């Protein structure tokens, strides 16, 4: 049986702060081989949801560097998974966090920002970890940063992703302590 639960924004931010300048040993570091930004944000969202979606090709999961969904590490795939999941979920789909495109005013800590270049290609994924006035503060990998003002980035356009919630199997065990400590990924099934 599947249930909805709230996305734990505080846990996502705590995770991001813990690993902003280091790496969780459970995950491969993709810096230098395409970038680690979306991998890092996926980890933070996992900390806030404690569930992955193991649907081959179209899910959102990480087992190893060689066994992961495109949405786990790919900027565009991540966006597509997170924004199409509500439709998938409404049709009786599988587990995982889901969200929707948002305005700047709707943005909350634990939400996601993606940056695009002058060709319109989205290339960087950031986690919102705070605000300074109206300016989002973001935490990211590839160029490791903690609470960096979004206004410090050079980009042509951006988009905001508001995480709505999480679809989980009933009685899903809490993975946060093991994930934060780098001991274990959530169990499948």
The DSSP string of 156-174 is: SEEEEEEEEEEEEETTPPP
Distances (CA, A) of 101 to 46, 76, 154, 165: 19, 13, 21, 14
Residue of 161, 181, 146 lying closest to 60 (CA atoms): 161
CA dihedral 131, 180, 67, 65 (to 10 degrees): 80
**Tokens linked to 75:** 């900027």
Question: Which residues sit opposite 115 in a β-bridge?
Answer: 124, 158
Burial, 10: exposed, middle or buried (Cβ in 10 Å; 0-12, 13-18, 19+)? exposed
CA 102 – CA 95 distance, rounded (Å): 22
Instruction: Please state the pTM of the whole predicted model.
Output: 0.94
CA 27 – CA 61 distance, rounded (Å): 11
pLDDT at res. 189: 66
Question: Which residues of the chain form beta strands (DSSP E)?
Answer: 2-5, 62-64, 67-68, 96-102, 112-116, 122-132, 135-140, 145-149, 157-169
pLDDT at res. 169: 86
Domains and CATH numbers, the chain: 2-180 (3.90.1720.10)
Question: Which residues sit opposite 114 in a β-bridge?
Answer: 125, 159
pLDDT at res. 87: 56
CA 147 – CA 17 distance, rounded (Å): 9
CA 35 – CA 187 distance, rounded (Å): 26
Tens of pLDDT along the chain (189 residues) come to 788 899 999 999 999 999 999 999 999 999 999 899 999 999 999 999 999 999 888 899 999 999 999 999 999 999 999 998 655 554 445 789 999 999 999 999 999 999 999 999 999 999 999 999 999 999 999 999 999 999 999 999 999 999 999 998 888 889 999 999 999 999 886
């Amino acid at each position: 049986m599947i249930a909805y639960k709230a996305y734990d924004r505080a846990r996502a931010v705590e995770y991001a702060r813990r690993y902003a300048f280091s790496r969780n040993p459970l995950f491969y570091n993709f810096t230098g081989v395409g970038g680690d930004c979306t991998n890092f944000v996926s980890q933070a969202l996992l900390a806030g949801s404690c569930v992955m979606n193991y649907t081959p090709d179209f899910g959102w999961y990480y087992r190893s560097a060689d066994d992961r969904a495109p949405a786990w590490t790919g900027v565009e795939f991540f966006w597509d998974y997170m924004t199409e999941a509500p439709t998938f979920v409404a049709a009786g789909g599988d587990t995982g966090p889901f969200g929707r495109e948002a305005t700047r005013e709707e943005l909350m800590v634990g939400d996601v920002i993606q940056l695009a270049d002058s060709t319109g290609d989205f290339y960087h994924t950031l986690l919102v970890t705070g605000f300074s006035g109206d300016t989002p503060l973001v935490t990211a990998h590839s160029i490791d940063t903690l609470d960096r003002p979004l206004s410090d980035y050079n980009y042509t356009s951006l988009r905001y992703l508001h995480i709505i919630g999480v679809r989980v199997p009933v009685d899903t065990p809490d993975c946060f302590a093991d994930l934060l400590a780098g001991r274990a990924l959530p169990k499948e099934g």
